[in-house]
């Protein structure tokens, strides 16, 4: 089925790579006009050049509320309306535990990972109400937003908080025809994972394949996730096919959060260190 987002206008934050990029390209293929936002200007411009006319790039630090407001204004100026807001941008951030984490670092992670989702809801909802059109808001939480043990303390707390925003938004915004849902990816292999380990660009593809093989054991479906898996779910939740779905947090994790299993953070870290030793 093609054209599932025909004539829709979408914003996707963190859209220059990984899940955001896969979603942006899938949305364009389904007929949408897309604005991607990222702090990686070079990568964003490259994506824009590949999809001339259908996709625009806007440099944006989603941790800054005014940047998100300007992002929504840019989408309106460029394409005339807004139908979809996909709050996807994020980082792993400070990996410190309970006895080491600093308050300033924790606050910064909450501002980036959770505050950006609040800003995205706020400015998208204002525009949807001005249009009197309704709209779809989608946010990327994580398996770490559903269970402990998937990631570090700050990331886990921030991603749990996104679930609260989605449910509060469902209660407050549904009377205006505005839906809010979230996707909770499991272990998803992408270029960002390679860069977080400091893997040189020439080894990035090999690193992803290596990690994917190791992570195949982390969930019942015997393979690691890829950005396209999340993009497929995002397409459905942002389309009119999901018009009666709001307040849902959808795990896209190969069944990982449905069972008790080993610690994926440890497995990924050990595999990453092992790869770096063999590649050096």
What DSSP assignment string belongs to 91-157? -------TTT--HHHHHHHHIIIIIHHHHHHHHHHHHHHHHT--EEEEEE--GGGTSTTSS-HHHHH
Residue 55 is predicted with a pLDDT of 98
Q: For the chain, what percent of residues have pLDDT higher than 70?
A: 98
Domain-located, residue 195:
no
Given 123, 150, 155, 176, the catalytic residue? 155
Domain annotation covers residue 76: yes
pLDDT average, residue stretch 99-121 = 96
pLDDT in tens, 13-22: 999 999 999 9
Distance CA 200, CA 171 (A): 46
What was the pLDDT predicted at 261?
Answer: 63
Specify the number of domains making up the chain.
Answer: 1
Query: Cα(60)–Cα(46) distance, rounded to whole angstroms?
Result: 16
Q: What is the CATH number of the domain that holds 15?
A: 3.40.50.720
Instruction: Check if 155 is active-site.
Output: yes
- The answer to whether position 1 is within a domain reads no
Instruction: Please indicate, yes or no, if residue 168 is contained in any of the structural domains.
Output: yes
Span 209-236, mean pLDDT?
A: 92
Tokens matching residue 256: 């990982």
Q: Where are the beta strands (DSSP E) in 39-144?
A: 55-59, 84-87, 135-140
pTM of the entire predicted model: 0.90
């Amino acid at each position: 089925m093609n054209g599932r987002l025909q004539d829709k206008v979408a914003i996707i934050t963190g859209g220059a790579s990984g899940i955001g990029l896969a979603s942006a390209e899938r949305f364009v293929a389904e007929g949408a006009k897309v604005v991607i936002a990222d702090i990686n200007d070079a990568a964003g411009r490259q994506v824009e050049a590949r999809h001339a006319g259908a996709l625009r790039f806007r440099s944006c630090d989603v941790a800054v509320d005014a940047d998100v407001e300007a992002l929504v204004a840019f989408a309106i100026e460029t394409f005339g309306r807004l139908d979809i807001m996909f709050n996807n941008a994020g980082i792993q951030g400070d990996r410190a535990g309970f006895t080491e984490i600093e308050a300033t670092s924790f606050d910064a992670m909450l501002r980036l990972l959770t505050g950006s989702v609040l800003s995205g809801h706020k400015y998208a909802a204002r525009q949807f109400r001005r249009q009197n059109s309704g709209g779809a808001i989608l946010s990327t939480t994580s398996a770490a937003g559903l269970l402990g043990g998937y990631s570090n303390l700050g990331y886990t707390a921030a991603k749990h908080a996104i679930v609260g925003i989605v449910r509060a938004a469902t209660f407050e915004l549904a009377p205006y025809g505005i839906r809010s849902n979230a996707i909770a990816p499991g272990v998803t292999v992408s270029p960002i994972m390679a860069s977080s380990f400091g893997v040189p660009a020439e080894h990035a593809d090999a690193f992803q394949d290596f990690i994917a093989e190791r992570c195949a054991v982390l969930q019942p479906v015997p393979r690691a996730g890829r950005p396209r898996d999340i993009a497929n779910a995002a397409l459905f939740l942002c389309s009119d096919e999901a018009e009666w779905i709001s307040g849902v947090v959808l795990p896209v994790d190969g069944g990982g959060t449905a069972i008790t299993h080993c610690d994926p953070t440890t497995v990924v870290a050990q595999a990453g260190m092992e790869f770096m030793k063999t590649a050096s």
